[in-house]
Structure 1
């Protein structure tokens, strides 16, 4: 009889089923971990420091232009009589543009100059623009240093220049309506409107740092709102 050979198969170790593959890292999830939250100041308004400084530079340049205009008006107010050379230089272009029927003489323009001085138009516009230019200049410098008072001074100067500039220009225009004709009369009429437009632009620029939230926050950092999350 042949003897049956018993073959024994290798028995698998049950521990191999529980082996884990090591990937080099592990990730654990905590059920009690809070959900990520968006920072409360993510969409908060940030101070704008460049805007007020840019407005300050523009106001300083505008103040210099106004000062030269004011200097000319004050000089006209203090001049009782203009020289013939000055009047001829002023009348050269207007007289050359007409057909010859509306040419102005030196005596006519001198009469207009005396009437404009007596009306106070030169003085009102000149000294008013001097005050306006000084306030705009000082306010513009203060805005460069982010001082909120600079915007208020500039706005006050622009309002003073607006009122005195328009009022003085209307007085000068009244004298021009009486004593001038032709192109020069139209020039003084346009000048009164131009003065008002320029001063309104200055007032708008001066008020902008006080209206804009970001610029106002840069000028008044103590009024900044801080959001706190409990």
Structure 2
């Protein structure tokens, strides 16, 4: 609980530092992500995901090759968070700045999905309710692999090899692809359970690695304003905290 509280404090601090650096840096991207209307059904979640793809300046269809880059070009502040068992991401609006904390220690496909999931929270949710996590998961699946593309990619009775192949093309984990196939009724409950059993043999190490893409915008803003020490001094922030917000590798070996 203490580590989660600290992570939330880092997200708040990141938003404040990012806002000041954004205002001081003419070339900094504006924060284009917006709060959108809360979805009224699972189908409207897909519509919201399509709208956010547009806000991120992505095409309506096709894979998003580098979601981290797309998010940062849209002015989303990304920072690393560590030490939260079972938590891959957190997010919050901080004085108009969308901030997402991501766990760099997980595989690249999980970082991508967590980033999309947290973008969904920022875009759709102003309060907690029973369905926020399932909505954010559906949003992530729809943003990374839009419904029309998914429909075109599905075959009759897809097998595990088919899902592994799709992972390589779309950068979405096999687990997430199978979940999406199930929620869109391409596989029934029995087939879903069978694929889950097959996946359990991997022990969380799926085939088909996907390189993790870590954030660079925050560090670029710091460098553009004289470096960590200068930014801390100029804007009145703790130097160690400013450094921590840029360090995507610290504690990785611990």
Bigger Cα Rg: 1
Higher strand share: 2
* TM-score of the pair, normalised by structure 1: 0.25
Higher helix share: 1
* TM-score of the pair, normalised by structure 2: 0.24
